[in-house]
Amino acid sequence: MKKGFALLETIIVITFVSVSLLLLYGTFTNMFNNSEKNIIFDNASDIYKTYFLKEYLAMDNLNDLLKNENIINISCANFEKSDCETLIKNYHISNIYISKYDLKNYDKSKYKANFNEYLNSVTNKDNYLYRLIVEYKNNNTFSYASIGFGDNHE
């Protein structure tokens, strides 16, 4: 009788430890994946540079650029700023995009895998019409940041 109880107790402990280890593994895997995304998506310095770029380019005046597109790639040619190219060079900007804020459907084949992954990671909880997305390139590594503009109540 005591041998059977010891066996049952051992099986219960092994089950408990196994379930605990599986939960810990899942938690640490998610933390690792999220930290990896945080390195290339929306880090604080890139968000600050994106905000400054939005203010500099007066993005609130560009609401009609999208018309029938979900995402467009813009450049300094869209603005009447003399030192726009210098700013883009100093900030290591690779591409500037404007998209609809609540972007659900777009042609994923037009864009790089990193860009598509970034768009899948952004939330659509704020009350904006459009999103300025900037792609930064530092040492052959692309990072992304975005900021909303255009009030939804206008």
What is the pLDDT confidence band of residue 1, given thresholds at 50, 70 and 90? low
* Higher per-residue pLDDT: 149 or 14: 14
Q: What is the pLDDT of residue 8?
A: 85
pLDDT for 154: 47
- Nearest-5° Cα angle at 36, 32 to 39: 140
Query: How confident is the model over 19-60, as pLDDT tens digits?
Result: 999 999 988 887 777 666 656 677 888 889 999 988 888 765
Structure tokens at 87: 């700013």
Residue with tokens 């390139």: 137
- How far does Cα 110 stand from its chain's mean position? 18
Q: Is the pTM of this model over 0.85?
A: no
Between 9-18, 34-43, 92-101, the lowest mean confidence (pLDDT) is in 34-43
Region class of 134: left (phi > 0), else alpha (psi between -120 and 50), else beta: beta
**Predicted pLDDT at 62:** 60
Which pLDDT tens digit goes with each residue over 109-150?
888 888 888 888 787 777 888 888 999 988 888 889 988 887
